[in-house]
Structure formats: structure tokens, C-alpha cells
Amino acid sequence: MSVPGGVPSEDPRDLDRRDPAAEVAARAQAYRNWGRWGEDDVLGTLNFIDAAKRVEAAALVRTGEVLSLAQAFDADGPQKGWRRRTNPVHTMIDTGLEAEHGKQGFPHGIGGADDVIAMPLQCSTQWDGLGHIFDRGRAWNGRRAGDVVTSDGDLVTGIEHAAGVIVSRGVLLDVGRHLAPGTGELEDGHPITVADLEATQRAQGPSSALGRGDILLVRTGQYARTRRQGWGEYAGGPAPGLSLTTAGWLHRTELAAVATDTWGFEVRPNEFDVPAFQPLHQVVIPNTGLTIGEMWDLDALADACAAQGRWEFLLSAAPLPITGAVGSPINPVAVL
């Protein structure tokens, strides 16, 4: 579990695979940011993004190329109903047919179309807000979970607080390309370690350096595989992803946020021989205060970065200001 001095190990081989509770608790205690930005804080590590960081990020724009990093929001998505998560249902409530037949009640021939959409806020490309995950009944900054999120929504750390915040320097680590150069795709169940992340940084060069306020994007290649083979178990099934042992690295790097091209951010199955569920979420969201992104489309960005030989860019990824929401669909854009 630990190395000398009591610091949790960053080697997955040291995990006690029979005791996820102890492994989570050790990291929660070691990497907890409660009180770091005051008792009233609602942003967590997004506080690392400041005006200077955004100016630095804006200076990275050279060609003006804009790439959307969003998957589609439609009925052909990966959701299968787990915990009542479904794919978006898009319904037209006024169409061109009504306009053609003059049934809309408008004057002088004008017509229009309107539509509605019903969907879980985390059914496609999205941010996990700070009210999304709790640790032993506690939410971000040590608050009681039941005082934060009620049937009325997240009353404290709702995603609306981040609506004007998430614009920063983005860095892509294409771990799939580095560790599996033949396919660019990590195998399901591959735990991405600190050593893997740092090796990818070295291979990609100086533009992959990470620091305070940066947003890290980790490409595993799993989404590319689903586009070729079909969704399969993409939503909730086995996947490559970050190891629980990366929690300390994420903490000391002072990243503002992290996103991946997978459904669950962390490796699945989780790294234990007894029942466990999303232990890295349990450490970094309520304890570190880290905003997590999932189901991002990083393939075109990876190709563009490789072609240009640089892995940093301006990244804008604002959530919808949905009052009290614990997550939000997004259309993140990278500007090169």
C-alpha cells in the first residue's frame, strides 16, 4: 500500500487487491484539498485556472484550427439504461410540414421549426461536477453529502458555478499511441500508471509539460475502437483508464481538470479482487476537488497534434449553467 514515510505507492503492484476501502482511505487522506480555497469554495481545482493561465493558453493559437472534442448526442449513443441512463431522445415539436400547410398561425408566410431533447446530463461527452461523487457520506470540502445534493439538486457546488471558468491550456497525452504504436489503442483493462503518463510526456516532448491550471486530456484509443467495432460494453464495461495509483500525481501536478475518451475515466475492471467501484473517482472528486471529463472524442485532435509536433492548445470546455446539476453535457473545443 505504501512506501517508506507512509505515502501511498504509485506502483499498482503494491495495491492490496483485497482491501479497496483501505487503499481509497489512504489516498483520500493524503491528497485531500479541503479548506485549501476556503470553507465556502465551490470550484476545487478549477481555482488553479487564473487570468495569466488563460493568456498563456491564448498565445498557443497559431493556425486557428478548431476541433470539436464531443461525441454525438443522439439515439445511437452507448447508453444501455444503467442507473436509468439513456441516450438522448430528440423530438421535433414544429416542422417544415406544418409551415408548408400554414398550420403554425404565423402571419405573412413565415414559418419555423422547434425541437426538444430529453437526456441524462452524463449520457455523452460531459463533465462530472463536484457534487457527483461522495466519500463516506462527505462531499467536496468536507460537507455532508445530504446537505449538498438533495432532490432539488446540488445546492452548493452545482455545475453552474463553473460555467465561466473552464478555459485554459490543454495538453493531450496520447498514451494509446505511445504504448501501442501499432494500433494506437490500449487494451481494455489496461491501468495507466504514473510511469505510463510520464513516459508519454517524454516521448511527445516539451509541449507535453504539465503544470498548475492545465487541463489534461488522456487518449486511450478505446473510443476509436468503438467506432470501428460498435459500442459493445463501452458504457460501463471493461476499459483502459487511469490507475488508482495516479491520484498522487494528479494532486501534485495541480491540474485544473482531467478528461479521457472512455466512459469511466479510470481503468475498468477496477484494480481489486473483491467488489469495488470507481475508487479513483472517490478519491479525486470529493477529496482533491478535481473536475473529471468523460467520453471525449480525442482522435482528430491526436492526429492534428502529431502532425504539428505539439501537444498543447487553447481549450474551452464550458458546462451548461444548469442550476443545481452535478454534471453537464459539453462541446469542448481545442484551438490550435
Give residue limits of the domains in the chain: 12-81+120-335, 89-118
Sign of CA dihedral 121, 124, 130, 133: positive
Q: Where are the alpha helices (DSSP H) in 128-278?
A: 145-148, 175-179, 194-204, 222-229, 247-252
For domain 12-81+120-335, the CATH superfamily is: Putative cyclase (3.50.30.50)
C-alpha Rg value of the chain to the nearest Å = 21
DSSP annotation of 135 reads B
Pairing, β 126-128 against β 327-329? antiparallel
d(CA 121, CA 184): 29
pLDDT tens column, 306-330: 999 999 999 999 999 999 999 999 9
Question: Is 232 a residue whose pLDDT tops 70?
Answer: yes
pLDDT tens column, 160-207: 999 999 999 999 999 999 999 999 999 999 999 999 999 999 999 999
Sign of CA dihedral 330, 217, 170, 175: negative
Side-chain-side CA neighbours of 298 within 13 Å: the count stands at 33
pLDDT of residue 1: 64
What is the average pLDDT across 37-57?
Answer: 98
CB 191 within 8 A of CB 12: yes
pLDDT > 90 fraction of the chain, expressed in percent and rounded: 97
Report residue 154 CA to chain centroid gap: 19
- With b meaning 16 or more CB within 10 Å and e meaning fewer, what string describes 28-46? bebbbbbeebeeebbbbbb
pLDDT > 70 fraction of the chain, expressed in percent and rounded: 99
pLDDT of residue 311: 98
pLDDT tens column, 179-188: 999 999 999 9
Strand partners, 117: 90
What is the average pLDDT across 219-233?
Answer: 97
d(CA 163, CA 159): 7
Question: Is 4 a residue whose pLDDT tops 90?
Answer: no
**Phi and psi for 103 in degrees, rounded to 5?**
-100, 10
pLDDT tens column, 72-119: 999 999 999 988 999 999 999 999 999 999 999 999 999 999 999 999
Could you give the angle at which helices 222-229 and 299-308 cross, rounded to 10 degrees?
120
- 2: confidence class by pLDDT, cuts 50, 70, 90: low
